[in-house]
Chains A and B, each alone.
Chain A
Amino acid sequence: MKANKVLAMTLAMAMTAGMLAGCGSSEKEVKETKKVEDSASEGEQITLNYWTWFPSKDQIQETVDAFEKENPDIKINMTVMESKAFQEKVPLALSTEEDIDVIGVQPSAFAEEVQDYLANLDELMPEAAGEDWKDAYSEKCLEQGNQLTGGDTKMLVLTNSGSMVGFYNAALLKEIGAEVPKTFEEYKAVAEAFKEKYPDKYVSVFAGKDSWVVDEMMLTVLGQQGDYYNKWRYDGEPVDSEEFKEAINGLKKYFDEGIFSADVLDLDYASATEEFTNGDALVYYMGSWEAPLLSKTLRDKNGIELENVGAMALPTAEDDGQLTVRSYIDSGIGVVDYSEKKEAAAKFVAYMTLGDGADIFGKQLTGTSAKKDFAVDESLFDTEESKAGWDTIVDLINTATADRNNVSGYSDVEGAAVQSVLNGSVSTESALEDLQKEWTSGKY
Chain B
Amino acid sequence: MTGKKTGLKVAKKNNRAGFLFLLPLIVIFIGLLGYSFYFLISNSFRDVTITFRRSEFVGLANYQTIFKDKSFWKSLLNTFILSTANIFCGLTFGFIIAIILNFKIKGKRFFHALFFIPSMLPIALMATVFGSMLEYKNGIVNQILRGVGLGALAQRWLADPKLAMGAVCSVSIFMIGIPIMYYTADLTTISRSILEAATIDGAGMKDQLLLIIFPVLKNTHKTIILSMLLGGFREMERVYLMTDGGPGGCTEIIGTYIYRATRSAGSNIGLVCAAAIIVLIVAFIISFIQLKLTSKNG
Contacts and interface: CB of A to CB of B under 8 A. Distances in A.
Interface of A: 5, 8-9, 11-13, 15-16, 19-20, 84, 87-88, 91-92, 94-95, 106, 108-110, 112-114, 116-117, 208-211, 262-263, 265-266, 268, 271, 275, 408-409, 412-413, 416-417, 419-421, 423, 425-426, 434, 437, 441-443
Interface string B5-37: 000000001101100110110011000000000
Most A CB within 10 A of own CB, among B14, B68, B159, B250: B159
Nearest to B252: A416
Interface stretch (B77-85, B92-100, B194-202, B240-248): B240-248
9 contacts: A112-B266, A114-B51, A266-B135, A271-B135, A275-B137, A413-B249, A425-B162, A441-B65, A442-B61
A358 B123 CA distance: 44
Contact of A423 (B17, B160, B265): B160
B294 interface: no
B61 A5 contact: no
B52 A95 contact: yes
Nearest to A275: B137
B51 A265 contact: no
Contacts of B262: 88
Given A109-B266, A271-B135, A91 B50 contact: yes
A263 B156 contact: yes
Contacts of B24: 15-16, 19
A116 B137 contact: no
B13 A5 contact: yes
B248 A425 contact: yes
A275 B23 CA distance: 58
A434 B73 CA distance: 14
Contacts of A112: 266
Contacts of B71: 413
B48 to A, nearest CB: 11
**Chain A interface, DSSP helix/strand/loop, else mixed:** helix
A267 to B, nearest CB: 8
A16 B249 contact: no
Contact of A210 (B28, B244, B266, B267): B244
A425 B161 contact: yes
A88 B136 contact: no
B159 A109 contact: no
Contacts of B27: 16, 19-20
A416 B69 CA distance: 15
B247 A209 contact: yes
Contact of A265 (B156, B244, B261): B156
Contact of B51 (A8, A92, A416, A426): A92
A112 B267 CA distance: 11
B3 to A, nearest CB: 16
Given A113-B51, A116-B53, A420-B250, A409 B261 contact: yes
A441 B20 contact: no
A419 to B, nearest CB: 4
B263 interface: yes
Contacts of B135: 266, 271
A419 B244 contact: no
B70 interface: yes
A275 B52 CA distance: 42
B265 A108 contact: yes
A263 B264 contact: no
B263 A419 contact: no
Contacts of A117: 51
A109 B264 contact: yes
**Chain B interface, DSSP helix/strand/loop, else mixed:** loop
B53 A95 contact: yes
Contact of A8 (B21, B156, B249, B250): B21
B50 A209 contact: no
B248 A416 contact: yes
Contacts of A19: 24, 27-28
Query: 5 closest pairs, A vs B, by CB?
Result: A109-B266, A409-B264, A420-B248, A12-B20, A110-B265
A443 B263 contact: no
Given A263-B136, A263-B137, A419-B247, A443 B23 contact: no
Interface string B147-164: 000000000101111100
Nearest to A94: B51
B271 interface: yes
B71 to A, nearest CB: 7
B112 interface: no
B51 A12 contact: no
A209 B161 CA distance: 12
Contacts of B160: 423
B248 A423 contact: yes
Given A113-B266, A266-B135, A408-B264, A208 B53 contact: no
Contacts of A437: 68
Contacts of B20: 9, 12-13, 16
A110 B61 CA distance: 23
A91 B159 contact: no
Contacts of A110: 265-266
Contact of B159 (A88, A208, A413, A441): A208
Given A5-B17, A12-B23, A91-B49, A265 B247 contact: yes
A409 B245 contact: no
Contacts of B161: 420, 423, 425
Contacts of B137: 263, 266, 275
Contacts of B50: 88, 91-92, 95, 113
A113 B263 CA distance: 13
Contacts of A15: 21, 23-24
Interface string B264-277: 11111001000000
Contacts of B264: 87, 109, 408-409, 412
Contacts of A114: 51
Nearest to B19: A12
B136 A266 contact: yes
B265 A109 contact: yes
Contacts of A416: 245-249
A417 B265 contact: no
A109 B70 CA distance: 24
Most A CB within 10 A of own CB, among B69, B71, B248, B268: B248
Given A113-B50, A113-B265, 7 more contacts: A8-B21, A112-B266, A209-B159, A275-B137, A409-B266, A421-B248, A423-B248
